Amino acid sequence: MIVLAIDTSAIASAALIRCHESFSDAAVLASFATEDTKSHAEVLAPGIRALVAEQELTGPDIARIVVGVGPGPFTGLRSGIATARALAFAWSVPLDGLMSLAALAWDVVEAGGPDSEFVVATDARRKELYWARYAAGGALLDGPHVSAPVELPSLPVYGAGAGLYPEQLAGAGASAAPGFDSAQPTAASLGLAAVALLAAGEALPDTTPLYLRESDAQVPGPRKRAL
């Protein structure tokens, strides 16, 4: 069966994952990922359409959709989740969410990461990081959080967030893991992580976004009296 994975927590990406009905023997069939962190709405739908067409698939061929729910910026995250919800409704297929940082954790473990706990982190802007703490095998221990780099645990830090603030992390006793200092969550890794959880009998969360911050947009208050 085919699982469509989508993530827009940092970059826009999508992937088609082929696996058995038991979610075993998963492999990436096709994927795309941009480098731009600001063009999610423009590239996501055409990219998914191209992926499906290139594999000579149609909507009914997709058995399940998994979307990254962040943490991430409001606009980018909404683009991916809204697209996933629309496709799931149009194709009448199950829809699940998964924390986007799980994609980076999957990459770390697959690359033979540390034999102890580690942290994955992405850029939260405002001189802060989105991060979560994982066991050596990739199990989530804590998070997600948003905080200044100096507040991260004294552990190896993987992901583009680490590459932005190596000195601050070092001052906190943490360290930016080499080779991962520009890594972003991708739909391909998110899909593989999701399928592995399903194969283990674990339930995936819903698609409620993990913004971790209040929106900058505010509802206007009542007008002040002129007199």
Question: Any bridge partners for residue 129, and if so which?
Answer: 123, 147
pLDDT of 35? 80
pLDDT above 60: residue 220: no
Amino acid at 135: A
Express as a percent the part of the chain with pLDDT over 70: 92
Report domain 101-176's class. Answer: alpha beta
Residue of higher predicted confidence among 216 and 94: 94
DSSP per-residue letters across the chain: -EEEEEE-SSS-EEEEEE--TTS-S-EEEEEEE-S-SS-HHHHHHHHHHHHHHHTT--GGGEEEEEEE--S--HHHHHHHHHHHHHHHHHHT--EEEE-THHHHHHHHHHTT--SS-EEEEEEEETTEEEEEEE-TTS-EEEEEEEE-GGGS-SSEEESHHHHH-HHHHHHTT-EEPTT-TT----HHHHHHHHHHHHHTTPPP--S-----S--S-----PPPP--
pLDDT of 214? 61
The CA distances from residue 98 to 36, 64, 169, 202, 223, in Å, are 22, 13, 27, 12, 42
pLDDT of 217? 43
pLDDT of 71? 98
Q: What is the arithmetic mean of pLDDT over 201-209?
A: 96
pLDDT of 219? 44
Strands 118-125 and 156-158, bridge-based pairing: parallel
State phi, psi for 222 to the nearest 5 degrees: -65, 145
pLDDT of 213? 76
Residue of higher predicted confidence among 110 and 36: 110
Residue-wise pLDDT tens digits, 136-146 = 999 999 999 99
Residue-wise pLDDT tens digits, 23-69 = 999 999 999 998 876 766 789 999 999 999 999 999 999 999 999 99
pLDDT of 216? 47
pLDDT above 90: residue 174: yes
Average model confidence (pLDDT) for the chain?
92
pLDDT of 6? 98
Confidence tier at 75 by pLDDT (50, 70, 90):
confident
Q: What is the arithmetic mean of pLDDT over 113-129?
A: 95
Decide which of 3.20.20.390, 3.40.50.300, 3.30.420.40, 3.20.20.140 is the CATH code for 2-100+185-199: 3.30.420.40
Q: Judge whether 2-100+185-199 and 101-176 match in fold.
A: yes
- CA separation for the pair 214, 88 (Å, rounded): 27
pLDDT of 85? 98
- The domain locations on the chain are 2-100+185-199, 101-176
